[in-house]
């Protein structure tokens, strides 16, 4: 049996079903072997786009995507997207063709393992025809079970070799890690004493099971619920949802988090973004971190208590312990209070922990950014990005996925567009690269054809990744692409401008992005006022099988409020 056929068989048996890439001679046969076994192949126009599509797809599908690349430049072109995936712990298997070991003078020769390791990905390799299948299966399992981006080097001579099929691969999937009982008891004791607890759920809590367990525990101790940007939407619909903690937090959210007496990060690194460089952590706050990866605990900031374990299992175990303690207390004179504490009060009819009826109505009225008053700076020729985004929030269906590129503009879609749940937000910002937003929106649209995908881009990042517009048109994806067009690398303009530096390197003449998009086969509209959004309404009604690009000429008199915060992190 040919090694490429054996690997394709094994990957399909393990569950691989979707692959992104750019095909050259080095990955031609393996890619076709996978396609002939039913794997869907999505051809991108640039390997970085393919990597970012695969990254977004895997985040939403919650299983490994495959990324297939030609040797040498195929891999180096993909590196930025691979780095983003590796830093985000996206389960991704990169099938990276490589020259044969003996081809020491090949033009395509690079050190694949060194490159993979340098990005934070896990390096793997087909070592020989005899072990090729084991190497490939192990690489897939590492990607899936450890949530790693794995770069599997595929030497051409090994790919072309023969091997024997050893039988079906081991199909076991790693089980989630339960916490230890002493740590559960410590966290239960902290929550039993808390008067103003806040939970901040991160990427490691992005599941329905974690949401259910965290909501139940929060009800029993009166905690408010926030997320990191990576888990935005997780608690949508819960009356105690504070939305995102950190630079994107609304004033009310920031105030409530800073005034907490106990903050528990659940599958959340509590990094400088989520804590606003630590300013959301009060001096007398007890900080707890729960994570299934022991090395994540205390990595960004010191915590008073670290609990190693799966988020859903830990939240359930702590909830059970608190309920047992309340049951025992039922026999005591304080029985009634304890009983109430155990039952919780999700509706907020009486005060428990941080919750009260008054706070509940305050949250309903003021927790969203779009409910915070602002002065509309639109001037008839350029639209205020806040006004634009609120209009889009009203116009576009609620069942959506918002995929955001990087830049000064990025907070507007992140904070003014609501999302239906944690799968409604695709935030590829772990590497802070511009240019990944469009491709990650395409990967999202492929993962979730039931939802309208909104790609939110700056003009800089949009033009950097524009080759994938052809992919979106070719695939007939009905997505909305909003370009916040300030004709500049606005982040640099607003960071350096106030100090009087020359800005010629970061400003550009106007570009007609709507015409460019039409050239790719998109529908398109240029928007300078809210009235210009009519064609978007028409497009929504007819839903043609092609994207619409909104070239929004936005005001840019000053930087966004989160930008200075971001530059403090450089």
Ligand X SMILES: Cc1ncc(C[n+]2csc(CCOP(=O)(O)OP(=O)(O)O)c2C)c(N)n1
For ligand X, give the closer residue by CB, 424 or 461.
Answer: 461
Shortest distance (Å) from residue 558 CB to Mg ion:
14
Token readout for 357 is 């009826």
Shortest distance (Å) from residue 366 CB to ligand X:
27
Total number of residues that touch Mg ion (CB under 5 A): 6
**Site membership for Mg ion, residue 459 (CB under 5 A):** yes
Token readout for 458 is 């700056």
Contact by Cβ (8 Å): 119, 175: no
Contact by Cβ (8 Å): 253, 245: yes
Residue 135: count of CB within 10 angstroms of its CB: 18
Token readout for 44 is 């991108």
Query: Which H/E stretch holds residue 49?
Result: helix 47-61
Task: State the binding partner of 434 from Mg ion, ligand X, none, CB within 5 to 8 A by kind.
Answer: ligand X
Position among 486, 492, 523, 532 found at the interface with Mg ion (CB under 5 A): 486
For ligand X, give the closer residue by CB, 12 or 516.
Answer: 516
For Mg ion, give the closer residue by CB, 455 or 488.
Answer: 488
Shortest distance (Å) from residue 492 CB to Mg ion:
9
Q: How many CA atoms lie within 13 A of 181 on its CB side?
A: 1
Which of 503, 502, 527 minimizes the C-alpha distance to 517? 527
Shortest distance (Å) from residue 493 CB to ligand X:
7
Task: State the binding partner of 461 from ligand X, Mg ion, none, CB within 5 to 8 A by kind.
Answer: ligand X
For Mg ion, give the closer residue by CB, 133 or 457.
Answer: 457
Shortest distance (Å) from residue 378 CB to Mg ion:
17
Shortest distance (Å) from residue 265 CB to ligand X:
26
Token readout for 377 is 């700076």
For Mg ion, give the closer residue by CB, 4 or 555.
Answer: 555
State the Cα–Cα distance between residues 471 and 453, nearest whole angstrom: 15
Task: State the binding partner of 433 from ligand X, Mg ion, none, CB within 5 to 8 A by kind.
Answer: ligand X
For ligand X, give the closer residue by CB, 183 or 406.
Answer: 406
For ligand X, give the closer residue by CB, 123 or 417.
Answer: 417
In the complex, residue closest to Mg ion by CB: 458
Span from 67-75, 266-274, 364-372, 456-464 in contact with Mg ion (CB under 5 A): 456-464
Task: State the binding partner of 406 from ligand X, Mg ion, none, CB within 5 to 8 A by kind.
Answer: ligand X
Contact by Cβ (8 Å): 76, 39: no
Q: Kindly list the residues in this chain that would bind ligand X in the complex (CB under 6 A).
A: 406-409, 432-435, 458-461, 484, 486, 488-492
In the complex, residue closest to ligand X by CB: 458
Task: State the binding partner of 169 from Mg ion, ligand X, none, CB within 5 to 8 A by kind.
Answer: none
For Mg ion, give the closer residue by CB, 74 or 458.
Answer: 458
Give one word for 224, left, alpha or beta, with left for phi > 0 and alpha for psi -120 to 50: beta
Contact by Cβ (8 Å): 93, 64: yes
Shortest distance (Å) from residue 404 CB to ligand X:
11
For ligand X, give the closer residue by CB, 143 or 436.
Answer: 436
Considering only residues 226-255, where is the footprint of Mg ion by CB under 5 A?
none
Token readout for 43 is 């051809």
**Site membership for Mg ion, residue 411 (CB under 5 A):** no
Shortest distance (Å) from residue 468 CB to ligand X:
15
Shortest distance (Å) from residue 506 CB to ligand X:
7
Which of 502, 503, 517 minimizes the C-alpha distance to 457? 517
Task: State the binding partner of 51 from Mg ion, ligand X, none, CB within 5 to 8 A by kind.
Answer: none
**Site membership for Mg ion, residue 492 (CB under 5 A):** no
Backbone angles phi, psi at 94, to 5 degrees: -95, 120
For ligand X, give the closer residue by CB, 64 or 461.
Answer: 461
Contacts 24+ apart (CB under 8 A), 278-284: 280/245, 280/246, 280/249, 280/254, 282/258
Give the angle 295-300-305 at the CA atoms, nearest 5°: 65
Instruction: Output the CA torsion sign for 543, 546, 547, 548.
Output: negative
Length of the chain: 570
Token readout for 58 is 């895997």
Looking only at Cα atoms, what is the longest distance across the chain?
83
Shortest distance (Å) from residue 490 CB to ligand X:
3
**Site membership for Mg ion, residue 490 (CB under 5 A):** yes
SS3 464: helix
For ligand X, give the closer residue by CB, 222 or 559.
Answer: 559
Shortest distance (Å) from residue 402 CB to ligand X:
16
Shortest distance (Å) from residue 175 CB to ligand X:
38
**Site membership for Mg ion, residue 458 (CB under 5 A):** yes
Task: State the binding partner of 310 from ligand X, Mg ion, none, CB within 5 to 8 A by kind.
Answer: none
**Site membership for Mg ion, residue 120 (CB under 5 A):** no
Distance of CA 245 to the CA centre of its chain: 15
Let me know how many helices (H) and strands (E) the chain has, helices first: 22, 18
Span from 8-16, 376-384, 478-486, 497-505 in contact with Mg ion (CB under 5 A): 478-486
Which of 503, 508, 480 minimizes the C-alpha distance to 492? 503
| Whole-Å CA distances, 432 to 80, 285, 301, 351, 426 | 10, 30, 21, 41, 14
Shortest distance (Å) from residue 229 CB to Mg ion:
20
For ligand X, give the closer residue by CB, 315 or 560.
Answer: 560
Task: State the binding partner of 432 from Mg ion, ligand X, none, CB within 5 to 8 A by kind.
Answer: ligand X
For ligand X, give the closer residue by CB, 45 or 301.
Answer: 45
Contact by Cβ (8 Å): 18, 40: yes
Give the angle 299-305-306 at the CA atoms, nearest 5°: 50
**Site membership for Mg ion, residue 437 (CB under 5 A):** no
Considering only residues 47-86, where is the footprint of Mg ion by CB under 5 A?
none
Shortest distance (Å) from residue 164 CB to ligand X:
45
For ligand X, give the closer residue by CB, 269 or 433.
Answer: 433
Q: Which residues contact 499 (CB under 8 A, 6 or more apart)?
A: none
Distance of CA 384 to the CA centre of its chain: 26
State the Cα–Cα distance between residues 526 and 81, nearest whole angstrom: 29
Binding site for Mg ion (CB under 5 A): 458-460, 486, 488, 490
């Amino acid at each position: 049996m040919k090694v490429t056929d054996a690997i394709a068989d094994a990957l399909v048996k393990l569950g691989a079903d979707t692959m992104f890439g750019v095909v050259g001679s080095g990955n031609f046969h393996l890619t076709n072997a996978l396609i002939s076994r039913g794997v869907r192949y999505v051809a991108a126009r640039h390997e970085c786009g393919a990597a970012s599509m695969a990254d977004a797809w895997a985040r939403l599908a919650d299983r490994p995507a495959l990324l297939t690349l030609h040797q040498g430049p195929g891999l180096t072109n993909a590196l930025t997207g691979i780095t983003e995936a590796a830093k985000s712990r996206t389960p991704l298997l990169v099938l990276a063709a490589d020259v044969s070991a003996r081809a020491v003078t090949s033009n395509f020769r690079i050190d694949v393992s060194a490159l993979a390791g340098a990005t934070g990905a896990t390096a793997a390799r087909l070592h020989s025809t005899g072990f090729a299948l084991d190497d490939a299966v192990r690489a897939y399992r590492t990607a899936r079970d450890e949530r790693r981006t794995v770069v599997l080097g595929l030497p051409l001579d090994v790919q072309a070799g023969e091997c024997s099929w050893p039988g079906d691969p081991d199909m076991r999937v790693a089980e989630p890690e339960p916490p230890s009982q002493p740590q559960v008891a410590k966290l239960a004791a902290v929550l039993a004493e808390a008067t103003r607890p806040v939970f901040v759920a991160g990427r490691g809590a992005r599941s329905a099971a974690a949401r259910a367990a965290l909501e139940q525990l929060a009800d029993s101790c009166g905690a408010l619920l926030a997320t990191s940007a990576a888990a935005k939407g997780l608690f949508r619909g819960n009356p105690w949802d504070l939305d995102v903690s950190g630079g994107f937090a609304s004033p009310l959210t920031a105030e409530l988090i800073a005034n907490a007496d106990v903050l528990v990060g659940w599958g959340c690194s509590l990094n400088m973004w989520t804590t606003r460089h630590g300013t959301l952590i009060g001096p007398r706050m007890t900080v707890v971190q729960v994570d299934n990866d022991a090395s994540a605990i205390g990595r960004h900031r010191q915590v008073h208590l670290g609990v190693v374990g799966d988020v859903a299992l830990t939240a359930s175990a702590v909830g059970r312990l608190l309920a047992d303690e309340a049951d025992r207390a039922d026999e005591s004179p304080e029985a009634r209070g304890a009983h109430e504490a155990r039952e919780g009060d999700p509706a907020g009819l009486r005060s428990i922990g941080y919750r009260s009826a008054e706070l509940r109505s305050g949250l309903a009225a003021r927790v969203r950014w779009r409910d915070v008053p602002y002065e509309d700076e639109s001037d008839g020729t350029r639209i205020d990005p806040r006004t634009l985004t609120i209009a889009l929030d009203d116009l576009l269906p609620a069942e959506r996925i918002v995929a955001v590129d990087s830049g000064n503009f990025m907070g507007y879609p992140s904070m003014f567009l609501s999302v239906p749940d944690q799968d409604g937000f695709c935030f590829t910002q772990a590497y802070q690269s511009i240019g990944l937003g469009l491709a990650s929106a395409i990967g999202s649209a492929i993962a979730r054809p039931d939802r309208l995908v909104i790609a939110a881009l700056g003009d800089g990042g949009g033009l950097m990744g524009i080759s994938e517009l052809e992919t979106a048109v070719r695939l007939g994806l009905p997505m909305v692409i909003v370009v916040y067009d300030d004709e500049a690398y606005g982040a640099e303009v607003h960071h350096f401008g106030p100090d009087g530096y020359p800005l010629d390197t970061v400003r550009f003449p106007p570009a007609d992005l709507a015409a460019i998009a039409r050239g790719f086969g998109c529908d398109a509209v240029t928007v300078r006022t809210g009235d210009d959004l009519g064609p978007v309404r028409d497009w929504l009604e007819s839903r043609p099988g092609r994207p619409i690009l909104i070239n929004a000429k936005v005001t840019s008199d000053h930087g966004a409020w989160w930008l200075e915060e971001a530059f403090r992190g450089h």
